[in-house]
Amino acid sequence: MAHSLATTRAALDHRAVVLASGHEDAVRALTALAAGERPVDAVRGVARTGGRTAFLFTGQGAQRIGMGRELHAAFPVFAAALDSVCAVLDKELEHPLRTVMWAGAESPEAALLDRTEYTQCALFAVEVALFRLLESWGVRPDFVAGHSIGELAAAHVAGILELDDAAALVAARGRLMQALPEDGAMVAVAASEEEVRAALADGGHDGGHDGAAIAAVNGPASVVVSGTEEAVLSLAARFTGQGRKTQRLRVSHAFHSPLMEPMLAEFAQIAGRLTYHRPVLPFVSTVTGREASERDLCTPGYWVGQVREAVRFADGVRTLEHAGVTRFVELGPDAVLTGMTRTCLEDGAEDLWVTPLMRRGRGEAATLLRAVAEIHTSGGRLDWGGSSTAAEHAPCTCRRTPSSARSTGWTRADPERERPRPGPTRSPTPCSAPPWNSPTRAARSSPACSRWTASPGSPTT
């Protein structure tokens, strides 16, 4: 029934999706929705017409042991995509990538995941697999953007680099960074870019902050400084003395700083051997903070400069917002960009929606399906009939309710019609709902009322 209602009825503006693990859970959630409640295992929303969708690919720091393992077991499309990417990356690595990603918590292999050469490959693999899974469900972005290494995942799914070339660039980037001396530092500062630039300029007169640079602008008052340990900690102490919050980041190297420069020449040689293609998806650069052109993205110089230049994530989010994006979807193993994105949006932007596909410490399949449900209820497009399980379920016929009977949202029993009548007994139409990990377990509500209805266009599962 869920499949039939999701694929044969109109998608109305007032929508809901029930995320149930069994029949009793589904009935309980639907009953609560019919009573105007908001059960925890359901997602409700009003679709916004004309809104656009952006996919944001997470950067380093989001990695975690076990990332992607549950999705690999639950979704064949995700498993196939992850295995395909890992097979290519494994040619560049000493240890198989999946062995590192899914190692035991205290094992020697687990420690490798925080080494940059494995971290960046693992993030790339998981993020590409997430994209392929959403793509199989008909969820397609209007824009893509990425934070640091996440920008290479965005480049691959946008068609700029085919898998072999993208994997070669990702592996070389991580390997060359890992080979640099581990003698730098990175600190997050609760200050504006202008304030940090002014402090760097003031420190430059007495040499106190030489060797430090802005590595990322993640929000209106969220800047990361990177460089030599002495210079970065000196700058952090200055802001701490002003009562500002600072936090030293747990990283192996001072990324996006002058300390990256020794690797750039060799990285440029590798980038120069690759083949670049015109992007098939609009691409917002977090190097410039603006929508990038084919000329920008299809040159080795862009990807070499991307290693050294600051990540202008806040500018990228504002560019997306001004381009009409109302749905921001984070693709990565944790919700790192989600909070940052919310701080970048303009005040009063209550109808904008931000969600991650995965969160550290939460079930991967449940988190992913809730995010997909939110995409649907906020007005995003899904191909319910294109899911991997939808074709397995025979359609069933749902009784249509006359418009005059929709005032309460429920069809009322007719005692005369319910009275037993002579004649042969008919078996009910067979109908099996999709398994809980299929996006076709959906329900949508009528815009006429907040209750649930069995009228055309209003599934009740």
The full DSSP string for 437-457 is: TSTT--EE--TT-SS---STT
The length of the chain, given as a count of residues? 461
Domain 52-181+257-359 superfamily per CATH: Malonyl-Coenzyme A Acyl Carrier Protein, domain 2 (3.40.366.10)
pLDDT of residue 324: 93
| Predicted local confidence at residue 94, as pLDDT | 95
pLDDT in tens, the chain (461 residues): 666 766 777 777 788 888 877 888 888 888 888 888 887 878 887 877 778 999 999 999 999 999 999 999 999 999 999 999 999 999 999 999 999 999 998 899 999 999 999 999 999 999 999 999 999 999 999 999 999 999 999 999 999 999 999 999 999 999 999 999 988 999 999 999 999 999 998 865 444 567 899 999 999 999 999 999 999 999 999 999 999 999 999 888 999 999 999 999 999 999 999 999 999 999 999 999 999 999 999 999 999 999 999 999 999 999 999 999 999 999 999 999 999 999 999 775 667 899 999 999 999 999 999 999 998 888 888 887 665 454 444 555 555 555 545 544 444 444 444 444 444 443 333 333 344 344 544 333 333 232 222 222 333 23
Q: Write out the two tokens for 167.
A: 């994997």
Identity (one letter) of the amino acid at 179? A
Map out the domains of the chain as residue ranges: 1-47+380-404+433-461, 52-181+257-359, 186-248
126: nearest Cα among 216, 53, 54, 60: 60
The pLDDT, as a whole number, for residue 70 is 97
Contact in structure between 306 and 161 (CB atoms under 8 Å): no
Domain spanning 186-248: CATH 3.30.1120.130: no
d(CA 100, CA 165): 22
Decide whether 52-181+257-359 matches 186-248 in CATH topology: no
Residues 6+ apart with CB under 8 A from 204: 210
- Distance, in Å, from the CA atom of 100 to the CA atom of 112, rounded to the nearest integer, reads 6
Please report where in the chains the tokens 């051997």 appear, as a residue.
Answer: 273
Given phi > 0 = left and psi -120 to 50 = alpha, else beta, which region is 69? alpha
**Contact yes or no for 56/337 (Cβ under 8 A):** yes
Q: Quote the CA–CA distance of 264 and 162 in Å, as a whole number.
A: 22
Predicted local confidence at residue 424, as pLDDT? 44
Decide: 238 and 203 in contact? Cβ < 8 Å.
yes
Structure token digits, residue 303: 């990807």
Give the span between the Cα atoms of 26 and 435, in whole angstroms: 12
> What distance lies between CA 272 and its chain's CA centroid?
30
SS3 assignment, position 36: coil
Partnered with residue 248 across adjacent β-strands are: 187
Q: Which two tokens stand for residue 282?
A: 């609009």
